[in-house]
Structures are given as structure tokens and as C-alpha cells.
């Protein structure tokens, strides 16, 4: 199958997902009811080394699962199948770049700032042209994100002296200092905080608000009123039971992400994932 790996909604296995993540390229998700249209798009993507097909679907619910799972850079979709609220949500994010299938995007799609349209049935040369335009737009948006990230880094570097580089923790009746890179997450525990590393936990006398202001926000993010995570140890964000979200860490621990912290945390993680793709 080369660079083509089609995944149908919930049917994608863990091994298939791991294989997809190992492939370098801009991820694409397709949405259309017509099998011939999907086949044409699939063939064109397989022949373009800049892109990898993350998944294809024939209904919006299935497509939404793919978007959450793979964070694609490009969505090519029949606009009539995308609910208006979802279109508005897509328009508020830099990614995925949205391309509509059909002659015209329609009023709702136009309001949602659909980047481009592709006539159906799609011709191979038209698909190749579209992928070229989408590639340039994706690079432009990634460059914008990188500039924003660099600005945050420079602002953080200027304030580096005010952030902790080590933590003083309690173990038994003794205190010692620990480098922050060893910290996976910090959890509230009554009047104390528990600092968790791989296989160990230590107590510190501090509040969540107090420690949050002393940790570098480019490295540590509060995801819940009771949890702070080290971004270096966040592997992925999981969604369960509707809207409940969890951050899965490098030790297998799943830390809950509170609804009041979800938007900012998702933004940070999504940017990191795209820049590393």
C-alpha cells in the first residue's frame, strides 16, 4: 500500500495507528459517501510523498473520531455532511486545512472559511493541483505556529530566572533537590503536593496555585485543579465517555484533564504534535 493506510473510524487497530505515526508526511482525512470519489482521492494521495492518508469515512461521526485521533493537517470533505457547528469549530483552528468537495462550498462552509474546493467527480490533475496548493498553505500555517512558539520561547527565556530548575522534596525526615526533568506530574494531596517520578512520589509543602507560578509554562501545564503535567512526558490525549479527557503519560498513568483546562492544553499538545510531524 506504500504511503497509503486507510483507517475506518473505530476499526483502526493499535498496531495500524502506531504504523501510521511512524510514517513521515502531512496527514489527510477524507469524508464522502461516494466510494469512487474516495478511491480517486486515495490514489492521488498515495502518489504524493508529502501526504499520508490517515483515514477515510462516509459519515461525520466516524470522521470526527479520525480527526480527534490523528490531528490531520488536511481534511477533504463533502461539506453537506459536516454539521454547521462543527464547521464553525474547524474554522477557529489553524488545522486541519479544510477543502470542500463540490462546485461551491455553500453559505455555511463559506462562513467557516473553507480554504479551497474540489469539483466532483475529481479528476487526477485537479487533485494534484489541490494537493500542491494545500501543501503550501499547510507550510504557511506551520510557519506561523512556529513563529508563535518561538515568541513564547523567547518570552519564557527572558523570564527563565524566575522559574524553578529544581524542586526541594521531602523523603522521610530528609529533604533533597530533584531536577525537574524527572517530574512526570504533580498532584494535590490535602495540604501537600505529591511530586511523581518514574516509580517514586515525594511530598512538598506548597499549593497548586503557588507551584504553578514558579514552573516554566512551556514545560509544565496545569490540566486539572488537582494536577500539573510535564509536557515532555505526555504521549497523547485520550477521550472517553463522551467528552471526558485524559493525558496519557510516559509511565502509563492517565491524568484527568478538566473542562476548564481542556482548550489550552489541547492547543499546546496539538501544536507540539504538528511541529514534530
Indicate which CATH number applies to the domain containing 28: 3.40.50.2300
Q: How far is CA 31 from the centre of its chain?
A: 19
Query: Sign of dihedral through CA atoms 152, 155, 161, 163?
Result: negative
Angle between helices 35-46 and 124-158 (to 10 degrees): 60
Name the most confidently modeled range: 40-49, 85-94, 95-104, 153-162.
Answer: 40-49
Peptide linkage before 210 cis (omega within 30 of 0)? no
User: Is 137 in the same domain as 26?
Assistant: yes
Q: Is 219 a domain residue?
A: yes
Q: What is the pLDDT of residues 181-223, one digit of tens each?
A: 999 999 998 888 999 998 888 888 888 988 988 898 888 999 9
CATH number for the domain including 168? 2.40.50.1020
User: Is 65 in the same domain as 186?
Assistant: no
Give the pTM.
0.59
- Asked which of 129, 153, 177 is the last residue of a domain, the reply is 153
With a cut of 60, say whether residue 1 has pLDDT above it: no
User: Is 99 in the same domain as 43?
Assistant: yes
User: Is 18 in the same domain as 133?
Assistant: yes
The β-bridge partners of 176 are 169
- Asked which of 153, 175, 195 is the last residue of a domain, the reply is 153
Boundaries of domain holding 54: 9-153
User: Is 111 in the same domain as 171?
Assistant: no
User: Is 133 in the same domain as 172?
Assistant: no
Amino acid at each position: 500500500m506504500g504511503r497509503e493506510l486507510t483507517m475506518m473510524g473505530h476499526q483502526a487497530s493499535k498496531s495500524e495507528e502506531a504504523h501510521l505515526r511512524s510514517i513521515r508526511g502531512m496527514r489527510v482525512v477524507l469524508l464522502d459517501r461516494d466510494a469512487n470519489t474516495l478511491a480517486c482521492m486515495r490514489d492521488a494521495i498515495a502518489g504524493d510523498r508529502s501526504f499520508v492518508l490517515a483515514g477515510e469515512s462516509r459519515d461525520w461521526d466516524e470522521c470526527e473520531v479520525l480527526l480527534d485521533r490523528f490531528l490531520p493537517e488536511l481534511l477533504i470533505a463533502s461539506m453537506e455532511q459536516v454539521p454547521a457547528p462543527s464547521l464553525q469549530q474547524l474554522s477557529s483552528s489553524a488545522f486541519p486545512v479544510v477543502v470542500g468537495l463540490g462546485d461551491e462550498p455553500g453559505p455555511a462552509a463559506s462562513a467557516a472559511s473553507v480554504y479551497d474546493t474540489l469539483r466532483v467527480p475529481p479528476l487526477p490533475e485537479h487533485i494534484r493541483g489541490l494537493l500542491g496548493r494545500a501543501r503550501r498553505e499547510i507550510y504557511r500555517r506551520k510557519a506561523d505556529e512556529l513563529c508563535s512558539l518561538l515568541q513564547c520561547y523567547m518570552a519564557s527565556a527572558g523570564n527563565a530566572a524566575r522559574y524553578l530548575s529544581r524542586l526541594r522534596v521531602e523523603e522521610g525526615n530528609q529533604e533533597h533537590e530533584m531536577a525537574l526533568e524527572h517530574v512526570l506530574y504533580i498532584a494535590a494531596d490535602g495540604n501537600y503536593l505529591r511530586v511523581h517520578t518514574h516509580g517514586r512520589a515525594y511530598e512538598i509543602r506548597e499549593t497548586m496555585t503557588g507551584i504553578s507560578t514558579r514552573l516554566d509554562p512551556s514545560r509544565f501545564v496545569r490540566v486539572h485543579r488537582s494536577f500539573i503535567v510535564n509536557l515532555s512526558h505526555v504521549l497523547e490525549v485520550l477521550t472517553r465517555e463522551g467528552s471526558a479527557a485524559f493525558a496519557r503519560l510516559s509511565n502509563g498513568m492517565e491524568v484527568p484533564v478538566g473542562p476548564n483546562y481542556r482548550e489550552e492544553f489541547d492547543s499546546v499538545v496539538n501544536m507540539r504534535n504538528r511541529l514534530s510531524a
